[in-house]
Amino acid sequence: MLNRFIDCIVTLICWSWFIFGFIFFFSWAYAAAVLFSKNTERSFQRLNSLFFQIFFRIVRLTSPSHSIEIDEDVAAIGSAVIVSNHLSYLDPLLLIALFPRHRTIVKTRFFTSFVFGWIIRKSGYLPASSEGRFSSLMIKQMDSMESYLKEGGNLFVFPEGTRSRDGKIGSLNKGALKIARLSKAPIYALQIDNTDTLFTPGKFFFNTRIKNQITVKLIDSLHPEYDHNPPSTSQLEDWVHMAFAKSLK
């Protein structure tokens, strides 16, 4: 009973950051970025990254039995399309914290929410669907993607489109691979492990008392010769499957 109570308190402390951290510490910064920044999108991305860096510091302080280890090679990635497995809702938050310049694909329904929708639109994130009221936003982001990546930005995606229940990569959405081809960008494959041990899908409370190490590893990278021997989207898909298959052996 005591352990369950501790899980509850820690979970409430961590999730409270999303409300009180935004209201008291970050709302003014986002407003200032809109009013004064020459590049609102870049400013929002950096603020998002800082917001979640603080969130994970809170997680580490309140759940000291969990540690987070990031490969140095991962932190150095730039100007790339990044594909990753997906175990927990913590995964996108972890990658946002890791990459100050980032775009990602977000479920379209989130774009309609009042505050969160405004932030993700200003951050340059892409809706998952190219149809409906946000189709023009998708077109705008796609038109600027090649220059965005060349200037050092990253696009990270979870090509399965949902969380994995067994840690293995499932069927892939080819959209991200098509973006890589169109933008002539290298592709990096990341393996995230054990975020689901801390925050298990289908549960509300963190598992705060389990000894656990969350890791983010670079398992492979691909730098195609787009100008001389461009790979097809199917070939890129095969490469992603092979990269993750090797990491699970």
Structural domain tally of the chain? 1
Q: What CATH number is given to the structural domain containing 94?
A: 3.40.1130
pTM across the whole model = 0.93
> Residues with Cβ < 8 Å from 108, sequence gap 6 or more?
127, 128, 129, 132, 134
Report the C-alpha gap between 19 and 13 in whole angstroms.
10
Taking only the tens place, the pLDDT of each residue in 86-105 is 999 999 999 999 999 999 99
Tokens encoding 38 = 């020459």
Taking only the tens place, the pLDDT of each residue in 51-79 is 999 999 999 999 999 999 999 999 999 99
Those residues of the chain that have pLDDT short of 70 are 161-172, 248-249
- Give residue 224's domain range: 2-247
